[in-house]
Amino acid sequence: MLSVLSALVLVLLSAVTFFICRTLRQAEALQNFGGEWSTKYSRLWLLWANSSGKMNTIFTVVNDKYGGRPTARIAPHMLITRDAELIKRMNAVRSPFKRSEWYTALRLHPTRDNITSVTDESVHSDIRNRMSPGYSGKENTHMESDIDHRLLDLFDLITRKYSSTAQNFRPVDLSRIITYFTLDVISTVAFGQEFGFLKSDSDPFGYIANLKEFLPAIIVFGAYTELQRILRLPIFRAILPKSTDKRGLGRVMGFAKERVEERFGAKPIVRQDMLGSFIARGMMQAELESETLTQITAGSDSTASALRMTLYFITTNPAVYTRLLDEITTAIAIGRVSRPIIRDAEARRLPYLQACIKEGLRMYPPVTGLLAKEVPAEGAELEPGKFAPGGTWVAWNSWGLQRNQGIFGPDAEVFRPERWLPRESDGQDKDEEGGEERRLERMTETVGLVFGYGRFGCLGRGVAMMELNKGIIEVSGEILCFSRLMQCTSPWIYSALPNDKMPRCCSASTYKPSTPPSPSPRSALVSFSIRI
């Protein structure tokens, strides 16, 4: 009995000694990088930052504070960087950096990895090669009309359910229905059938509510990634979402599974969409069940945040919305905007709209998760004279990256779409490292990083940009052109005339460019609140 006890104590002591030695070695190895004192020895600071709801600004303060260097320490084995060049270097096609174990937290299916969670380079690149064509418009001929239909569903919902009358005031939370919009878009472009969030004006599967419940767990696993291994033990599988669940993430899994099943079997549905393209490239049924679920999580909240935040910045800046209104109404007047929904190609030709979208993505990069990459075994020099040993994780600070004053100017904290428009030359440009053209190029390259880069870059970028190109102008149109959404009690509350009084479709005759909408009596309005 005593010998068993002694053996146990010995094992425990060895484990503690190993842990202390490893922590001291890590602290020593990353001593060239600044960071909060406790991060040398523990991950508690990281856990605190992750769960604070302000990690974007906390990491930016850390990056600024420690010598103004772009890379700082946030855990014994982890750094965070706002250096665009380092991010590109780590993600480049032939880079020796790879995904760290952090990514395994993105596994949603109980037994299968997916494109975002797999850490094996060759498996990832094989999946990516087979999935990329499906994300492109060429192999997904319905993509644009699918997005148009969902946008019309959004406006239909507003008209149908939220038109106020003198007796009945019906506010709607625009932020909520924008999430519904992106979820219905992604299910339609992914497998040809919308979930029905907009039609039912509800979260029919309890998916959003369930994701919120998962959030604390995701935060803990982001800091203590090894805990995920425990969750994978068969004994814990029962608490993970599964496709037979009646509600939540599991129900969405079940929905995706059913849509995948329809494409196989005796009478398979054949459709030229993402799923059709993946099947044509040899993806198997079980693989697709995991991947389609990932498409939904990767493609909905990110785009909803981008839409919400850009709309918020536009509608709360009178100078910006007046200028955007001018651009829209002029384009309509000269027949450059199709109705009822603008074409993607037309939106791309509206410079001020494009400036607003880029500035919205810059001010509020939707993906602020750590996305940590791992330094190769031989180590790497991350900054001149600053070496990180093999195995170090380097996370990205997407918020800080987009606030680089050297790239975006001293007012990088301000939402100012004008920074994206060519400036008239004042003879000074040549001093600015390559002049005006180079300035715009550097800004465009940097804002593009909100979608990641290189071999890990976002596959859904084209879909997201199409949603933004159409969504920003059409919803802004509701706010700016049609006076349907007008601010009343706070920056977030909007009011609008019902559709029968003021047609939704822009037409040159209904607008007076540059004339701000005059407030109408509240009782005759539809109201909207935008929550962020």
Site for ligand HEM in 121-140 (CB under 6 A): 128
Nearer to ligand HEM, 373 or 504 (CB): 373
Minimal distance, residue 129 CB to ligand HEM, in Å: 10
Which region, judged by CB under 6 A, interacts with ligand HEM, from 152-160, 401-409, 415-423, 459-467?
459-467
From candidates 353, 450, 472, 497, binder to ligand HEM by CB under 6 A? 450
Bridge partners for 242 per DSSP: none
Site for ligand HEM in 386-445 (CB under 6 A): none
Task: Provide the residue count of the chain.
Answer: 532
Report the Cα 448 to chain-centroid distance in Å: 12
From candidates 110, 248, 460, 471, binder to ligand HEM by CB under 6 A? 460
Site for ligand HEM in 74-93 (CB under 6 A): 91
Q: What is the dihedral of CA 134, 459, 416, 370, to 10 degrees?
A: 160
Minimal distance, residue 487 CB to ligand HEM, in Å: 25
| 116 sits near ligand HEM (criterion: CB under 6 A) | yes
| 240 sits near ligand HEM (criterion: CB under 6 A) | no
- DSSP-assigned states of every residue in 212-273: HHHHHHHHHHHH-TTHHHHHTSHHHHTTS--TT-SSHHHHHHHHHHHHHHHTSSSS----SS
Give, rounded to a whole angstrom, the gap between the first and last alpha carbons of the chain. Answer: 61
Report the residue number whose CB is nearest to ligand HEM. Answer: 460
From candidates 367, 493, 505, 524, binder to ligand HEM by CB under 6 A? 367
Is cis: bond before 340, omega within 30 of 0?
yes
Which region, judged by CB under 6 A, interacts with ligand HEM, from 136-144, 147-155, 319-327, 364-372?
364-372
From candidates 70, 248, 254, 299, binder to ligand HEM by CB under 6 A? 299
Minimal distance, residue 188 CB to ligand HEM, in Å: 11
Q: What is the dihedral of CA 147, 152, 157, 162, to 10 degrees?
A: 130
Give the separation between CA 393 and CA 158, rounded to whole angstroms.
Answer: 46
Nearer to ligand HEM, 206 or 452 (CB): 452
Count of residues of this chain found to bind ligand HEM when the rule CB under 6 A is applied:
23
Which region, judged by CB under 6 A, interacts with ligand HEM, from 332-340, 427-435, 449-457, 507-515?
449-457
Give the separation between CA 274 and CA 460, rounded to whole angstroms.
Answer: 11
Give the separation between CA 492 and CA 307, rounded to whole angstroms.
Answer: 14
| 278 sits near ligand HEM (criterion: CB under 6 A) | no
From candidates 115, 219, 275, 353, binder to ligand HEM by CB under 6 A? 115
Amino acid type, 312? Y
| 295 sits near ligand HEM (criterion: CB under 6 A) | yes
Nearer to ligand HEM, 371 or 530 (CB): 371
Give the E-state strand segments of 411-506 in sequence order: 486-487, 493-496
Nearer to ligand HEM, 94 or 267 (CB): 94
Would you give the DSSP letter of residue 480?
I
SS3 call for 95: coil
Cβ 522 vs Cβ 488: under 8 Å: yes
Cβ 79 vs Cβ 30: under 8 Å: yes
Spatial CB neighbours of 136, under 8 Å, sequence gap ≥ 6? 462
Give the separation between CA 152 and CA 185, rounded to whole angstroms.
Answer: 11
| 471 sits near ligand HEM (criterion: CB under 6 A) | no
Minimal distance, residue 387 CB to ligand HEM, in Å: 23
Which region, judged by CB under 6 A, interacts with ligand HEM, from 31-39, 237-245, 458-466, 506-514?
458-466
Give the separation between CA 149 and CA 138, rounded to whole angstroms.
Answer: 19
Spatial CB neighbours of 438, under 8 Å, sequence gap ≥ 6? 432
458 is in an annotated binding site: yes
Site for ligand HEM in 179-208 (CB under 6 A): 186
Nearer to ligand HEM, 203 or 273 (CB): 273
Give the separation between CA 480 and CA 321, rounded to whole angstroms.
Answer: 7
Minimal distance, residue 149 CB to ligand HEM, in Å: 16
Which region, judged by CB under 6 A, interacts with ligand HEM, from 41-49, 238-246, 376-384, 453-461?
453-461
Cβ 76 vs Cβ 24: under 8 Å: no
Nearer to ligand HEM, 456 or 511 (CB): 456
Q: Which residues are annotated as a binding site?
A: 458
Binding-site residues for heme, in ranges, read: 458
Residues engaged in binding ligand HEM (CB under 6 A): 91, 115-116, 128, 186, 295, 298-299, 302-303, 306, 366-367, 371, 450-452, 456, 458-460, 463-464
